[in-house]
Structure 1
Amino acid sequence: MDLYGSAARRSLQASMPTIVVVALAMSQISLEKDGDNSDTCSTYLSDHINTLPSTSPHSAATPGSTTLSSPSVSSAPHISASDDPRSIFRFSASPPSGQQPPLDPASIARRQWEQCYRSLSTVPDSDMLKPKPSSIPRDWKKLIKPDGSIYYRNEKLRLLTSDDITQPKILQTALEQRRDIVGALRDDNYLDKLPPDWEMILSNYHEESDFHCTFMSYQMGICFSFVNNPNCACAGTDCDCKGQLIVTAKEVFWVLMQEFSMHRTRLPPHAEAEFYHSLTFGESEGIFNPRYTPFPFTEPQTRRLVQVYESLQTAHVSAATGDYSFMAAIVWHVARVMSDIERYRERYQYGTQGSRIYRDIAVAEPTWQVKIVDGLLFLFLFGVHRMYRERLERTRPGGIIYLPDFQNMMKSLLVEWAGEYSNLLATVFVSANVAFLAVPNVNSLQRTASLASTLFSMLSIVTGMHHIWRHRRRIDCELEDAIQYLRIDPDKRVKKLNKDGNDADSNNPDLNDLTMLACFISFPVASSLWSILSFSIAVSAYCIQDSLISGQSLLGTTLGVVGLLGLLTLGWFKEAWRKPRLTEFEDDYRDVWSVKSAEMTRGQRWLLMVRRVFKIPRRATDDVEMVKDRTHGKKRRV
């Protein structure tokens, strides 16, 4: 370090104890970290330390100077490393009473270093650690939620808000709005009819276009709003029509309970039981009916939510009496879970005669314009895009994305492109075409077909690799990524629900966008099909070339038999190309489990038709299967 010269270092070691030398070395490190102010302090220290008298280790103190000997420091029992660092400069020889200590260069250096230390370091009694004066108005309390957001509560006024009431204008508006609303309730004789524990929640009251006022009863577990009478035909300020208190949906209560949970000291009545009931239903549905359940959480997620709740309850029970810090987290956790569950309950009319325990799986039927486009695209893509469009549509029936289905679809697409269908098959056909082109006596038609097959195989490989790179990150994507991928516009294109749960629109305008998306993701498989077709033409033409008439007849017969077997196979397994389900499941367990049975009865129907053609006697079990097919097959067509 350039701060200390060799002569000054020797004089310091002779005149100061070891702890002072260590402290000065630490101060040099601190000053080197501190930027511009360190230059001034270093100058002061270098100017005075270099002027210290040089004494030998065994020389006595000169008159008029103050020296620090090692024995005097080491024998001080009250010195510890945890004391204030400035105390290292306070060990000096005590002067006689009534005399001031002489100001030698070492004392001046110590005083100047102490000033630098005060200005650069953070000490407990520093002004920098003093809290800023509170700007929260009187009787208001600021509360911080687990997600880091804040809200304010006025216990006397029973008022909750998430807006910034530290601004005088917003605070004044909030108080005026509360006064007006309470006055209207008093005038309409509603104030005395409110629940005893009512609280008013105001939001966006400084914006008239988006003002919301909601009352919450924590004990009753409901929220309600005070609105004007919709049947009122009066105009002006002389209207005598009373307002109305309207109970809002249960989801609103859970959402507001989540947003304003940090001042709670207990759960609402029956909240814990409802929490366990809901998760029990989700756990059982994840076992028996994981595919069609409307429950928003998977089975592992459900178990984890229960574990978090039980851990919080254990911590709350172990806490000291009167400590409700964990209860606020419990309330927030329960409300967060129940708000998502209640959203799905409302969609499927929970608690009504029309309640359903199976989520929507039916897709929208394509319009005639889309059918015309499908017919044209069939010439180029062999209808593969329809299969992909239906799979995309099944992940968002009714415009609502079901994230587990979307993630499973992404996994299946990666498997198709990487291994089972496109890339592996295309690589095999590239090798086969290279070998075919090496065969002698290949004419121009066969060579052209083989080259076309090679190009289509290469196109399948390239597009497949591109799709794999672009879709691999979507296996564990979030809901926002799925919305962006499926080209969903929440404001214009998603089917919205009315308050009664009915669809506001009967059509699905997103089908056109899904058709375009399906065309792009079908390129690998469609290119593989074109490669197979081109290679088949090349091989067939080569087999017929220069063959005898008998050989050509045998080859033609073989190709005809193979083609007929292919058509029979397609007809037998026509359910693989069946249309997507256009109607929802009925609320009956047999309706769900009859999907496979309906497919089996269709197979039995084909067997009965074959037996009828070939005069095979019918059995009693065949009649039973036909009855099942009439009663369940057409009704539950999938």
Structure 2
Amino acid sequence: MTTGLSEPVVNTGIKYESNSPIAVYSFDNAYINLNHSREGLPMGWTMYIHPRGWVYFRNSEYNVIVDEDIRAPVMLFRFMNCPILETFSTLPDGVEASFLNLSGSYFHLFVDHNQCTADYGATYNPQTVFKSTSMLRRRELYWNFVQQHPTHIPFPERGSQEAVDAIKLYYWDNLSMGTRSIVPFSKIECEELLRALDTPKGIQPNANMTSSTVLVAWILREVYSFRKADRFGTSTYRQMDDFHQSPVKNTHRVPRTSLLSRILLGILMNILCFGIPQTYLENVSSASEFRGRLSNLQQSWEKYTQELTQEYSDFILISTVLLSIPARSPSATMALLSVNDVYQAARVCAIMSSITALGSITLGAFMVWRHRRNMGVSPSLTFAYMHNARGRALGLPGHAILLSLPAVLLVWSLVGFTGAILAYALQNIASGTLVDVSWTWFLVGVFLLVLLFVTIGIHSFSVMWKWS
């Protein structure tokens, strides 16, 4: 096995003796090996045991691997009556066929251990020239076959070297790309796999290391599957970079709706909700963006959930200050409502402030409970959340509006409280003395000045993290 597609492939050395159905192994014959058995089987058959416990069968006369239980007479009869069975006996050394189905139809795979390839077909043609993309698929099929049938072949030393080389590349990719890495193994997984593939000194790989064969085959199956999806060996550097960047550029869009619905959605998000849902939309879109590895997506989503629950906790605290009624020091809103001669406008604004603060507390507490309750759950539940958020009528924008409700209600509570204070300050402007009116207009000027500073601060830090 080699790491480059253009290099010659070294024969894996699988040969079978003329009168023996098992590979030529080099281990002590005095040791009773439980990996294979001929007991109770027809002539020419050997049963091999996978490290996980299931069995498969090999016929040395026809160079055929069978997954069905040929100990059952009906299965053996179907095998012996295969119309193309005789053609398999002429396969060259290192090549065998794998029957995947003996029930109703004959479905087989040609496995070439010399080239480390496998493919489906009616006949085997060693002269076929494959394209690089086709070779990647055949290598993936081959290592998938080895993973399922590791016991009758020797340990693939060159395959082990290629697996180590590929994992080192993925380790470097994780170091250089960070969370933007799309390789199939994370940095921690690469470290663990390198330790698992490291053979201790003094121990030589041999044909009895079936579990090691399974590990190498599984790694290389993932490697070639990723290379096939990643257009390995077909694109230039710039083309490959554009291909990797394309999923990131595809931002989520609102599902097709009518013009009236889009206008109402814009009014709701940018006016009634003060543009707050836009921030939540950006955050939830970034947290739910798939960048090539599910583990990264899960970590990103859990981090976002932690930040979200912390925000809700802060909103609950502020809303409680506006609404709470301690025994000796009533809250600001309730203190204003307790004034006897307050005008109706101030009273209405104060009541509105209390109601919206209560809504912010209630909704915020519920969202904190639900999100914390579902932190650290299985990835399937996390992906169900993302699917439901994107699949609703308004998609992620509608979900962002729901997420922003505790903050929006808190802002409306502050607006109501500000309106109540302003209405209370202006209630004597028509009937008060000249001094009272002067002080009232002074308060109005202070209010407008503070409002200007607050507006400038909010706008400045709203765009501070954006390129202008």
- Give the alignment's TM-score, normalised by structure 2: 0.71
Alignment of 1:356-375 (within 5 A): 356=240, 358=244, 360-363=247-250, 366=253, 369=256
Find the aligned partners of 1:375 and 1:149 in 2 and give their Cα distance.
62
Alignment of 1:129-528 (within 5 A): 136-177=41-82, 179-180=83-84, 182-183=86-87, 195-208=92-105, 212-227=107-122, 248-267=137-156, 270-311=158-199, 316-317=203-204, 324-326=207-209, 328-353=210-235, 356=240, 358=244, 360-363=247-250, 366=253, 369=256, 376-377=264-265, 379=268, 382-383=277-278, 386-387=281-282, 389-391=284-286, 393-395=288-290, 402-419=293-310, 421-434=311-324, 435-440=331-336, 441=339, 443-470=347-374, 472-474=375-377, 477-478=378-379, 480=380, 483-487=383-387, 511-512=390-391, 516=395, 519=398, 523-528=402-407
* Contact 1:429-1:454 within 8 A present in 2 as well: yes
Find the aligned partners of 1:348 and 1:486 in 2 and give their Cα distance.
25
2:248 partner letter: I
Find the aligned partners of 1:371 and 1:293 in 2 and give their Cα distance.
39
For the residue of structure 2 that corresponds to 1:473, the secondary structure is coil
Partner residue of 1:564 out of 456, 460, 463: 456
The CA RMSD measured in Å over matched residues stands at: 3.6
For the residue of structure 1 that corresponds to 2:180, the secondary structure is coil
Displacement of 1:145: 2.0
* Contact 2:160-2:197 within 8 A present in 1 as well: no
Find the aligned partners of 1:339 and 1:315 in 2 and give their Cα distance.
28
1:284 partner letter: W
* Contact 1:255-1:335 within 8 A present in 2 as well: yes
Displacement of 1:261: 0.7
Identity %: 12
1:439 partner letter: A
Find the aligned partners of 2:95 and 2:382 in 1 and give their Cα distance.
40
Displacement of 1:388: 5.1
Find the aligned partners of 1:352 and 1:173 in 2 and give their Cα distance.
43
CA 1:371/1:181 → structure 2, altered by over 3 Å: closer, same or farther? farther
User: Can you give the 5+ residue segments of structure 1 that lack an aligned partner in the other structure?
Assistant: 1-132, 229-242, 489-509, 576-601, 607-638
* Contact 2:254-2:396 within 8 A present in 1 as well: no
CA 1:301/1:514 → structure 2, altered by over 3 Å: closer, same or farther? farther
Find the aligned partners of 1:525 and 1:367 in 2 and give their Cα distance.
17
Find the aligned partners of 2:299 and 2:366 in 1 and give their Cα distance.
23
Displacement of 1:348: 0.8
* Contact 2:98-2:108 within 8 A present in 1 as well: yes
For the residue of structure 1 that corresponds to 2:445, the secondary structure is helix
* Contact 1:215-1:225 within 8 A present in 2 as well: yes
* Contact 2:254-2:394 within 8 A present in 1 as well: no
* Contact 1:201-1:216 within 8 A present in 2 as well: yes
Find the aligned partners of 2:251 and 2:69 in 1 and give their Cα distance.
45
Displacement of 1:529: 2.5
CA 1:371/1:297 → structure 2, altered by over 3 Å: closer, same or farther? farther
* Contact 2:69-2:75 within 8 A present in 1 as well: yes
* Contact 1:392-1:514 within 8 A present in 2 as well: no
Displacement of 1:513: 5.1
Aligned to 2:445: 553
CA 1:368/1:152 → structure 2, altered by over 3 Å: closer, same or farther? same
CA 1:214/1:140 → structure 2, altered by over 3 Å: closer, same or farther? same
Residue correspondences, number: 384
Q: In terms of Rg, which structure is larger?
A: 1
* Contact 1:261-1:331 within 8 A present in 2 as well: yes
Partner residue of 2:412 out of 533, 539, 551: 533
Find the aligned partners of 1:407 and 1:252 in 2 and give their Cα distance.
29
Aligned to 2:29: none
* Contact 2:144-2:217 within 8 A present in 1 as well: yes
For the residue of structure 1 that corresponds to 2:198, the secondary structure is helix
CA 1:299/1:204 → structure 2, altered by over 3 Å: closer, same or farther? same
CA 1:371/1:409 → structure 2, altered by over 3 Å: closer, same or farther? farther
Displacement of 1:314: 5.2
Find the aligned partners of 1:296 and 1:544 in 2 and give their Cα distance.
63
CA 1:391/1:515 → structure 2, altered by over 3 Å: closer, same or farther? farther
* Contact 2:56-2:65 within 8 A present in 1 as well: yes
CA 1:515/1:145 → structure 2, altered by over 3 Å: closer, same or farther? farther
CA 1:294/1:526 → structure 2, altered by over 3 Å: closer, same or farther? same
Displacement of 1:212: 3.3
CA 1:257/1:568 → structure 2, altered by over 3 Å: closer, same or farther? same
Displacement of 1:168: 2.3
* Contact 2:287-2:301 within 8 A present in 1 as well: no
CA 1:417/1:393 → structure 2, altered by over 3 Å: closer, same or farther? closer
2:102 partner letter: Y
Displacement of 1:276: 1.8
Aligned to 1:123: none
For the residue of structure 2 that corresponds to 1:147, the secondary structure is coil
After superposing the two structures, state which structure 1 stretch, 408-417 or 460-469, moved more.
408-417
For the residue of structure 2 that corresponds to 1:287, the secondary structure is helix
Displacement of 1:511: 4.8
Find the aligned partners of 2:53 and 2:295 in 1 and give their Cα distance.
29
Relative contact order higher in (CA < 8 Å, ≥ 6 apart): 2
Displacement of 1:299: 1.1
Deviations 1:567-626 (A, max 9, x none): 3433443x3xxxxxxxxxxxxxxxxxxxxxxxxxx4xxx5xxxxxxxxxxxxxxxxxxxx
Find the aligned partners of 1:388 and 1:553 in 2 and give their Cα distance.
38
- Give the alignment's TM-score, normalised by structure 1: 0.53
For the residue of structure 1 that corresponds to 2:118, the secondary structure is strand
Displacement of 1:484: 4.4
Find the aligned partners of 2:183 and 2:453 in 1 and give their Cα distance.
51
After superposing the two structures, state which structure 1 stretch, 526-535 or 352-361, moved more.
352-361
Displacement of 1:195: 4.6
